[in-house]
Amino acid sequence: MEWDTAAAHAVCAAAGCSVVSVPEQEELTYNKEDLRNPWFVVYRNPGLRQYFDYFDVLHHPG
């Protein structure tokens, strides 16, 4: 839920990290109609984006 991650997202952003949805690779947004968060990843190194396909496989096996 949004309120479970909003404060942590702010701390991560202040530390220079990104919090992005998987597999969409879009920054999480808040104050949506549906308060549930999608699957997401927190990372600081942009080079880690190469692993997003792996996370998608975990989320959508088979």
Q: pLDDT tens string for the chain (62 positions)? A: 888 899 999 999 999 888 998 878 889 999 999 999 998 988 887 666 666 665 555 555 55
Which one-letter amino acid corresponds to residue 56? D
Return left, alpha or beta for 31; rule: phi > 0 is left, psi -120 to 50 is alpha, else beta.
Answer: left
Name the helix (H) or strand (E) containing 40. Answer: strand 40-43
**pLDDT value at position 19?**
92
Q: Can you give the pLDDT at residue 54?
A: 59
pLDDT of 61 reads 53
Domains of the chain and CATH, by start: 2-59 (3.40.190.80)
- Please choose, from the candidates 54, 60, 62, 25, the residue with its C-alpha nearest in 3D space to the C-alpha of residue 40: 25
51: which 2 tokens? 């692993």
Query: What is the reported pTM?
Result: 0.68
Q: Report d(CA 52, CA 42) in Å as an integer.
A: 11
